[in-house]
Amino acid sequence: MTSEEIFTQLSPIITLYLPEDVTKDQIELQSDLTAQLNINSAHLVDIVLDVEDAFDIEFANEDMEKMRTVADAIQIIQKKLESK
Amino acid sequence: MDKSLNHILKKLPYSEPFLFADSLVSVDENGIQGKYTFKADSYFYKGHFVGNPITPGVILTECMAQIGLVCLGIYLLGDSLQEELKIALSNTDIDFYLAVLPGETVTVISEKEYFRFNKLKCKVKMLNAKGEVVCKGFISGMLIA
């Protein structure tokens, strides 16, 4: 799966958990999920759980710690898909 | 009460007048049960409601969170909890059915939905002394050892 295809699938999942003052147009590759998109730590977990279901992969604690931006998330997802 | 259960209560980061857990009945990987008796002289009865004391829903929710989420979380964290527990409530979705009057004893029953990446989500319910459902729903929070 290309990173563009992953982004297309990931973007609506992130959108579900955006606070009211952030719009989906603000989701860019370099967006910091917590600092810029204002997603709280509990919703960050929700995003990962939804991503696991959508892509049929499993995140480890280290993956969670490395996931700061949208691009980080895509890279982790891509690696997991390749090693399936 | 079982020694290990008492050990969990001792680790709770609350004290009077905001401790809403008296005893634990049982705990395992999947859930927990505990009890609390609402003291008739609790401060909130003076104002909720004036002349008609009823336990506030937020306090019932707090009681379910302390027993159902935080006590279970302390058990699940086990030995990884060496220092102070950091906790934050992240979501509640509770329906209320019956009033709880001053002096009533309630039982909180909590079932774990998941505990991943420090987020614990539980299905919780509170029963009164007659075994009737007082309130039920879902509570989640972040628990970091």
pLDDT tens digits, residue range B50-97?
999 999 999 999 999 999 999 999 999 998 888 889 999 999 999 999
For residue B100, how many other CB atoms are within 10 A of its CB? 22
B33 shares contact with chain A (CB less than 8 Å): no
- A59–B117 C-beta distance less than 8 A: yes
**DSSP state at residue B1:** -
Range of the domain at A9: 3-82
Residue B145 banded pLDDT, cuts 50, 70, 90: confident
Range of the domain at B81: 3-144
Return the CATH number at B49: 3.10.129.10
Going from the C-alpha of B49 to that of each of A26, B3, B63, the distances in angstroms are 46, 38, 19
B116 shares contact with chain A (CB less than 8 Å): yes
Instruction: Report the distance separating Cα B128 and Cα B131, nearest Å.
Output: 5
- How is residue A14 written in tokens? 């992130």
Q: What is the structure's pLDDT at B80?
A: 85
Instruction: Report the distance separating Cα B110 and Cα B126, nearest Å.
Output: 9
What is the number of domains present in chain A? 1
Looking up tokens 């390749």 gives A82
Determine the Cα angle at B11 with ends B95 and A60, to 5°: 75
B112-137 confidence digits (pLDDT tens): 999 999 999 999 999 999 999 999 99
Return the CATH number at A45: 1.10.1200.10
Instruction: Report the distance separating Cα A56 and Cα A15, nearest Å.
Output: 20
Identify all chain A residues contacting B116, using CB atoms and an 8 Å cutoff. 45, 48-49
pTM of the model: 0.92
A20-29 confidence digits (pLDDT tens): 999 999 999 9
What is the number of domains present in chain B? 1
Residue B3 banded pLDDT, cuts 50, 70, 90: low
- B116–A42 C-beta distance less than 8 A: no
User: Residue A33: is its pLDDT beyond 60?
Assistant: yes
Q: What is the structure's pLDDT at B84?
A: 85
Which residue from B minimizes the CA distance to A60?
B117
Looking up tokens 């892509």 gives A55
B91 shares contact with chain A (CB less than 8 Å): yes
B24-53 confidence digits (pLDDT tens): 999 999 999 999 999 999 999 999 999 999
- B117–A42 C-beta distance less than 8 A: no
